[in-house]
Each structure stands twice: as structure tokens, then as C-alpha cells.
């Protein structure tokens, strides 16, 4: 044990205080939304609930799940997330692996061409016209193809392959008769689980929270993802359609609408919060190793 000086102890106390303050700032809004979603709306609006529910009430969840479109949006979002993440992961790996090979001729030119696209974009209108000409408007593909791959994630994964997968192992496998695809499948990918977990987290969260492409390209409500329905609940004046206004007073309607807001936020974020702990142990390692060398 190394004896700490008074200055080191003071510095450590300051660090703990700063980290505790940051953790409180981050955690409290999440806890407040969760507590407010299961509290009586009157307590939340009157400021009587700020940490622990004073009176429990699930009226927000009851009214939220009475809307059948929420279930439709949930199923659509799960479908978009699973299929989109799978396509993203395959394309990212198939692009990053060749660019990580030392024997791939022209990889620097191709990398420069890929990175060039991050500095210049056609813009919203040309992109929409392209998607329309390809016949993808108001289809499943409009949610998948325009965001099929991320240049930033390709660079991260390429760097991981270069720095974390030993080249002699790949050369030995090649001498033993493995093709490039066999090397990728049997050697590179099993050694790359940290960065794959990071890519799954990045892409899945992006698809789960995506609403702009749906807002632009989709017109049929049966194809809407969950985020569009929640946007209508949180932003547009559609809450009264979910409530039995004729039986309740206007004040109660407004309070129930406020409860629906909190319940909607919890419903939208709960799957992502449940996914993160399973990938957390890979997350930091994959990001640090993937960013060591450019």
C-alpha cells in the first residue's frame, strides 16, 4: 500500500464529489420520470412527488396500452431494429475486414472515398427523391436502406481488426488453406466480440430511436414505428383521443394526459436500458481498442 499525501487525499475527495454530482444529475431525471409514471397525476402536477411516489397510480400505463397503435408501433420498431441492426452489422463487417488487410490493394483510396462522404451530403431533398425513385417510399426498406451503414463504425471496426486480431494467426490460417471468408468467420469474428457488441449497441439504439425517416417516408399508420406514435402523444394534441373525455372532467383529462407522457417515456426507453447491461462489459473495451490507431 502506498501512503497517500494530504494533497492526494484531498484530490481524491474532490474527484469522488464531482463524480457523485454528475451521477446524481444523470440518474435523477430518469428516476423522476419512472416515479412520476407510477404516481398519482395530482401529486406530480402539485409538486408533491419529487423522489418517491406518494400515492401509486398506473392510470398512465392503462390509458397508454388501451391504444392498439402502441402495440403496432412496438412490433414495427422491434422488426425494424432487429432487421436493420443485422444488415448494418453484416455490411460494416464486410467493409471493415477488407480495409484492415495489409494485402488489399487500393484500400487507402477506398478508405479516403468512404471518409469523403462524411464531409459532403446530398441533403434531404435529393435523398428523398432518390428513395422515391427507388420505389422505397412507404415501404419497410425506407427504414433500413438509407441508414444501412455508418462510415464512422466502419473506421472503428477496421481499426479494431488491425490492432486486436494478430496478423500471424490470419497468415497461418491462410497457409492451412482457409479462404478469406473462412478466416473472417472462424478467426477474426470470434476474436472481435467486444467491437461487435459495441456495433450492435450503436446500431440497435439508433434504429430504436429513429423517427425522422419514418416521418419523411412513411404514410401508412400500420407501418409507423413506436417513436412516431410517442411523438404524437408527447408533441401533438392527440391525448384526448386516448382518454374517455366524456366521463371525466377536463382537469382530470389533463392530469391523465400528463401521466401518459411519463408512461410513454418509460415504455420507449425501457428496452434500451435492459439491453445495455448485457453489453456493458464489452462496450468500454471495444471503444478503447478500436480507437487506438487510425
What is the arithmetic mean of pLDDT over 167-185?
85
Mean pLDDT (the chain, rounded)? 82
Angle at 214 between CA 253 and CA 89, to 5 degrees: 125
* pLDDT of 292 above 90: no
Closest CA to 80 of 210, 198, 200, 199: 210
| 218 conformational bin, left if phi > 0, alpha if psi -120 to 50, beta if neither | beta
Q: Give 39's strand partners.
A: 56
pLDDT band at 245 (very low <50, low <70, confident <90, very high): very low
Distances (CA, A) of 196 to 98, 168, 276: 16, 22, 14
Q: Give 56's strand partners.
A: 39
| Distance in angstroms (rounded) separating the CA atoms of residues 40 and 55 | 6
* pLDDT of 294 above 70: no
pLDDT tens-digit readout, 58-111: 888 888 888 788 888 888 999 999 999 999 999 999 999 999 888 888 888 998
Of residues 139 and 64, more confidence is placed in 139
What is the arithmetic mean of pLDDT over 181-188?
88
Set of cell numbers at residue 277: 447491461
| Distance in angstroms (rounded) separating the CA atoms of residues 77 and 131 | 20
Closest CA to 164 of 185, 193, 186: 193
| Distance in angstroms (rounded) separating the CA atoms of residues 191 and 64 | 44
* pLDDT of 247 above 80: no
Spatial CB neighbours of 33, under 8 Å, sequence gap ≥ 6: 262, 265, 266
pLDDT tens-digit readout, 199-238: 888 898 889 988 889 999 998 989 999 888 888 776 754 5
Residue 282 is predicted with a pLDDT of 65
Residue 288 is predicted with a pLDDT of 56
| Distance in angstroms (rounded) separating the CA atoms of residues 170 and 95 | 18
DSSP string computed for 215-235 = HHH---GGG--HHHHHHHHHT
What is the arithmetic mean of pLDDT over 267-278?
78
Residue 286 is predicted with a pLDDT of 53
Domains of the chain (ranges, CATH numbers): 61-290 (1.10.3720.10)
pLDDT band at 119 (very low <50, low <70, confident <90, very high): confident
pLDDT band at 121 (very low <50, low <70, confident <90, very high): confident
* pLDDT of 281 above 70: no
Amino acid at each position: 500500500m502506498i501512503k497517500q499525501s494530504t494533497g492526494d487525499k484531498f484530490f481524491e475527495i474532490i474527484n469522488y464529489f464531482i463524480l457523485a454530482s454528475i451521477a446524481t444529475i444523470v440518474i435523477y431525471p430518469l428516476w423522476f420520470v419512472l416515479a412520476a409514471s407510477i404516481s398519482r397525476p395530482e401529486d406530480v402536477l402539485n409538486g408533491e412527488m419529487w423522489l418517491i411516489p406518494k400515492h401509486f397510480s398506473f392510470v398512465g400505463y392503462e390509458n397508454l396500452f388501451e391504444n392498439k397503435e402502441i402495440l403496432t408501433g412496438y412490433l414495427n420498431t422491434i422488426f425494424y431494429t432487429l432487421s436493420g441492426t443485422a444488415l448494418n452489422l453484416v455490411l460494416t463487417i464486410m467493409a471493415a475486414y477488407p480495409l484492415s488487410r495489409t494485402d488489399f490493394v487500393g484500400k487507402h483510396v477506398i478508405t479516403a472515398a468512404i471518409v469523403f462522404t462524411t464531409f459532403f451530403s446530398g441533403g434531404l431533398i435529393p435523398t428523398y427523391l432518390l428513395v422515391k425513385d427507388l420505389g422505397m417510399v412507404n415501404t419497410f426498406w425506407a427504414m433500413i436502406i438509407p441508414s444501412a451503414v455508418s462510415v464512422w463504425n466502419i473506421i472503428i471496426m477496421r481499426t479494431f481488426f488491425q490492432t486486436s486480431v494478430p496478423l500471424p494467426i490470419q497468415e497461418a490460417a491462410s497457409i492451412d488453406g482457409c479462404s478469406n471468408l473462412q478466416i473472417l468467420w472462424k478467426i477474426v469474428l470470434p476474436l472481435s466480440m467486444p467491437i461487435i457488441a459495441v456495433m450492435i449497441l450503436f446500431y440497435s439504439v439508433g434504429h430504436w430511436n429513429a423517427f425522422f425517416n419514418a416521418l419523411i417516408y412513411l404514410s401508412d399508420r400500420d407501418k409507423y414505428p413506436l417513436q412516431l406514435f410517442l411523438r404524437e402523444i408527447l408533441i401533438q394534441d392527440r391525448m384526448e383521443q386516448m382518454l374517455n373525455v366524456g366521463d371525466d372532467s377536463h382537469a382530470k383529462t389533463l392530469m391523465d394526459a400528463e401521466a401518459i407522457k411519463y408512461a410513454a417515456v418509460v415504455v420507449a426507453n425501457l428496452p434500451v436500458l435492459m439491453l445495455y447491461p448485457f453489453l456493458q462489459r464489452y462496450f468500454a473495451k471495444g471503444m478503447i481498442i478500436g480507437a487506438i490507431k487510425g
